[in-house]
Chain A
Amino acid sequence: MALVEYSLDIVGLSKSFRRKTLARAGYSTIKSALLGGLSSAAKWVSGKSSRETSPHVLTHAIDDLTIRVPRGSSLGIIGRNGSGKSTLLKLITGIYKADRGTVQVNGRIAALIELGAGFHPDFTGRENLMLGGVLHGLSKKQLEARFSDIVEFAELEEVIDDPVRTYSSGMFMRLGFSLAIHTEPDILIIDEVLAVGDAAFTAKCKDRIAQIRREGRTLLLVSHDLDAVERWCDEVVWLNKGKVADRGNPRRVIDHYREHIEKGEEQELLRSDRVAEEERGSMDLVAVGGGPHTNGESRGCSEENTQSARWGSREVEIESAVLLSGGAEEHRVFHPSDGLRVRAQYRVNDASAIDTSRVAFGIAITRSDGVLVFGTNTTLDEVVVPLAPKRGAVEFRVARLDLLDGSYRLDIAVHRDDGYPYDYQQGALHFAVRSAGGQVGMYLPKREWLWENVVGEPAGSPKLDEKHSEQRGGTL
């Protein structure tokens, strides 16, 4: 009979915080306690039924959580900010006390919960290592024996005798990580701290984490770096509002989580576009209407806030625009391989004032940091515009977006071929691209790798078709 041994055995764990406590930085004064006591006593004496004085609103940071982590396995914990990840770690490490449920820890924990936590800023790196080592349960002898290894791994030989308050955040992390792994813990807990390391050190950390896994130690990884979680973890738990939203196979859970995030993002973008549209509308009254409309109601500041603006003389006007992908549904979050369709309804307000042969439609995509991704118009593309006499629609299509992760802004315009604007809508639509591959940059071209044997004989060159390129880890 195989006995499964758990490094962590969490059963029915719950933890709530009082909102009041959170809001008031936690401490009260005797005065408030006394006054509170007096007033309730007075009410009791006077016989008035006192209304419950501010019933503490409870936030369930962790809600009836049961997780078992077998020895030697590695568990990833993912979830949005405020989903209870850090609270869970603090409960596991005993920094917080559970309201209900139990946490059984079998083995010694080394936890990197926060950058530089547990380090005393005025102490030198050497002193902090000594103190930290003791806190991690090492004897002085053991610590002295490992000291040079720790410093060497952290690459801090030159500054080890400086106070750690002079350290950069990367140095902090290196010191903490190096110490944690050299204490040979049974359970290593890492909370998002590796993000501050430079590429070389991160690589070194990853090697060491792989080694720790080989040695059969248990790893608990909390991270927003979903690729790292997928690579290192046997199981992933997705926390949402203190509850397990999903758990199991890393690939499946992470995909599920991404999907959920995208949905949320999509709603958010749709909402902000709607708000921006309203604001553009109200600005419009000021610009064009004049007279009675130029009162204090207008909101001129919206341009800076939303990066949305609208201008033009409106002989031709874009009434509405939607972003689509494959179907007829509005779309806000795309994958790099998705197609993009922009569908705009236009109206000709004053046909007599324009030369229909000179009307051009344009489109531009800008990344959120202001980098213009591309822009074009019907004149540049040498497209003849068959302008409808009254109202019409135009659809702009890109077969594959081929863009990488980021938030993008889409401008749409109708103007005269010399640039004179009829209706220019900056930031008319916003969308985001989410890729799963981890490639970096802005542009993800359709691509392939070709190989040849030294003798010159062509080897197999599997094309990276759309499906393949979507697979994480499929490319190097």
Chain B
Amino acid sequence: MNLISAASQLYKYRVLLWALVVRHLSIRYRGSALGFLWTFLNPLCLMLVYVLVFRYYIRFNEVEHYTVFLFCGLLPWLWVTSALLEGTASIASGGHLITKSMFPPQILPAVAVVTGMINYVLSLPLLFIFIVANDLPIPWTVVFLPLIVVGQALLMFGLSLVLGSLNVLFRDVQHIVGNALTFLFFLCPILYPAHVVPERFQPLLHLNPFSVLTLFYHQVLLEGVVPNLLSVMMFGLTTAICLVAGGMVFQQYRESFAELL
């Protein structure tokens, strides 16, 4: 019951959520000359480095259009990073919103997730430009993209609720998350395609929701393949578990946030 009321509170305060997201986005680049262009420049720079190292130094030739491939997986990963890092710290750094006003704390992780999502969606045109520039077709499976985006948003929200709540109790959580993300980045098929992973390590690829997510993006945006039902269900289940766990941990501690901060 409490989970539902917390969720409905989130809906009730959607205006607030939206205002905070907009603010978040505009503050991020305030005072920079290039402003919103950084939304595109950040992933581009990152991609350039990876292409240079893997394509030209290591001469990695397993993927034909490596740049596009890399970009396709990198963009949602940037969302994962920002959502989890900011989401984890969000409640602990909520300050007087938490300690001195009647503010629904679950909004803060949600803001981190939605902000990342908007950034991702805004950088999509760049990806499509890359696809077209490489003479690749945009497959029809792109219609599934919104579903995957929503799926990722829910997974991120569930996780950042757990992590954000725990981080109030133990500030170590935010450092652990930072390190865990580095691990996860290399475990996801972002820099390499799934087929280069040796058979005995394949389970690692399919049990990790983040790498499953990366596979989904590759499938619908590049390969024109509909994700198979089993992995979609697995992913859905994982997401649901994360959301419920997030809600439970959050409910367990929400009333002590004000005292602990």
Counting chain A CB atoms within 10 Å of each CB, the highest count among B96, B98, B169 belongs to: B96
**A135-B101, A135-B103, A140-B15 known; A26 vs B23 contact (CB < 8 Å):** no
* B168 CB, min distance to chain A CBs, angstroms: 7
Judge if B53 is at the interface, Cβ distance under 8 Å: no
Chain B residues, CB < 8 A from A122? 23, 27
A90 contacts B172, CB within 8 Å? no
B259 contacts A27, CB within 8 Å? no
B contact residues, total (Cβ < 8 Å): 28
B19 contacts A94, CB within 8 Å? no
Surface stretch bound by B, among A29-37, A270-278, A319-327, A431-439: A29-37
Nearest-CB residue, chain A, relative to B173: A30
B103 contacts A118, CB within 8 Å? yes
Judge if A461 is at the interface, Cβ distance under 8 Å: no
**A96-B255, A114-B96 known; A28 vs B170 contact (CB < 8 Å):** yes
- Tell me which of B96, B97, B169 contacts A28 (CB under 8 A): B169
Judge if A104 is at the interface, Cβ distance under 8 Å: no
Judge if B49 is at the interface, Cβ distance under 8 Å: no
Surface stretch bound by B, among A126-134, A231-239, A245-253, A352-360: A126-134
A contact residues, total (Cβ < 8 Å): 31
B101 contacts A118, CB within 8 Å? yes
State the CA gap A114–B16 with chains docked (Å). 21
A120 contacts B23, CB within 8 Å? yes
B1-43 interface with A by 8 A CB criterion: 13, 15-16, 19-20, 23, 27
6 A-B pairs with least C-beta separation: A118-B101, A97-B255, A117-B100, A26-B260, A30-B172, A30-B170
B170 contacts A21, CB within 8 Å? no
B97 contacts A118, CB within 8 Å? yes
A189-211 interface with B by 8 A CB criterion: none
B170 contacts A111, CB within 8 Å? no
Chain B residues, CB < 8 A from A403? none
Counting chain A CB atoms within 10 Å of each CB, the highest count among B170, B255, B261 belongs to: B170
State the CA gap A120–B256 with chains docked (Å). 22
Judge if A109 is at the interface, Cβ distance under 8 Å: yes
A162-181 interface with B by 8 A CB criterion: none
State the CA gap A33–B172 with chains docked (Å). 11
6 more A-B residue pairs beyond the given contacts A31-B172, A114-B96, A135-B102, with a C-beta to C-beta distance below 8 A: A95-B102, A95-B258, A113-B100, A116-B96, A118-B102, A127-B19
B100 contacts A118, CB within 8 Å? yes
**A95-B101, A96-B258, A114-B96 known; A134 vs B13 contact (CB < 8 Å):** yes
Judge if B99 is at the interface, Cβ distance under 8 Å: yes
7 pairs of residues in contact across A and B, judged by CB atoms under 8 Å: A26-B261, A28-B170, A30-B173, A111-B101, A116-B96, A122-B27, A127-B19
Residues of B within 8 A of A (CB): 13, 15-16, 19-20, 23, 27, 92, 96-103, 168-173, 255-256, 258-261
Chain B residues, CB < 8 A from A140? 15
* A271 CB, min distance to chain B CBs, angstroms: 35
Residues of A within 8 A of B (CB): 17, 21, 26-31, 33, 90, 93-97, 109, 111, 113-114, 116-118, 120, 122-123, 127, 130-131, 134-135, 140
Chain B residues, CB < 8 A from A123? 23
State the CA gap A163–B36 with chains docked (Å). 20
Chain B residues, CB < 8 A from A109? 102
State the CA gap A135–B98 with chains docked (Å). 13
B27 contacts A95, CB within 8 Å? no
* B118 CB, min distance to chain A CBs, angstroms: 18
B260 contacts A21, CB within 8 Å? yes
* B180 CB, min distance to chain A CBs, angstroms: 14
State the CA gap A135–B104 with chains docked (Å). 9
State the CA gap A17–B256 with chains docked (Å). 11
- Tell me which of B102, B169, B258 contacts A111 (CB under 8 A): B102
